[in-house]
Amino acid sequence: MQLPIYQVDAFTDRVLGGNPAAVCPLESWLDDVTLQRIAEENNLSETAYFVREGEGYRLRWFTPAVEVDLCGHATLAAAWVLFNELGETAETLRFFTRSGELRVSRNGALLAMDFPLGNPQPLEVPPALAAALGCDIESLHYADDFFVIVRDAQVIDLLTPDIAALAQFDVRGICVSAPGVEHDIVSRWFGPRVGVNEDPVTGSAHTSLARYWSQRLGKNLLNARQGGARQGQLRCEVRDNGRVIISGQAALYLRGTLYL
């Protein structure tokens, strides 16, 4: 069996930036074990698969270890492949996912993803968390991930967390964020529990980051930067209908063939 595969760098306008995702268009679904093993072989934070379904596409995302409920950068990458490699002419794509229907539209040079808005709730800070991150914590919130708020963007750049210690916390991932200087918010995301020690740019985390920082900064349109050595840019627009529009660019790194 031969299958097409693309690798797309998401939330960047150039290759070797942003967050790489593998995209595998399928005519019909392979078994879940094979989907997971391909994602493990790719060894990227996410591999996206989609199959045409009615007027849209059924979309699924796998890390090297597990299938996940929501992934932003691989959704952006899948939409980029459909628009730019597979000749999709619709202005808006419909994706049917474990998180409901998601839509991606063209907006000039950007692709705009319509996602459900997260609702992070405050938590008491476990003492071991600050030790694992190696930084002081201003506050902690939870919505699928831990959202750690720190005071200074410089802390984000200097983070060298104890990944093994972070893996002891029973959450999808741990996102550390602060108000930015050139951007409204800056962040980094660590997910050893799902097989991703650090994800360069996590679109799904910004569904919650956008709500928190929108309320704190008093603005509905936010420019965000995520990452350490490798970084990407996002634009988040919080809407009154419980949705957030997360926009970014993408660049093709490779196209190829899987031989199974």
Sign of CA dihedral 61, 67, 69, 72: negative
Distance, CA of 144 to CA of 120 (rounded, Å): 8
Distance, CA of 251 to CA of 13 (rounded, Å): 6
Look up 138 and say whether it is catalytic. no
Distance, CA of 235 to CA of 227 (rounded, Å): 15
C-alpha count within 13 angstroms, C-beta hemisphere, residue 77: 36
Q: What angle do CA 105, 236, 51 make, to 5 degrees?
A: 35
Catalytic residue among 27, 40, 46, 101: 46
Picking from 124, 125, 143, 121, the residue whose alpha carbon sits closest to that of residue 135 is: 125
- Report residue 26: phi and psi, to 5°: -125, 145
Residues carrying an active site annotation: 46
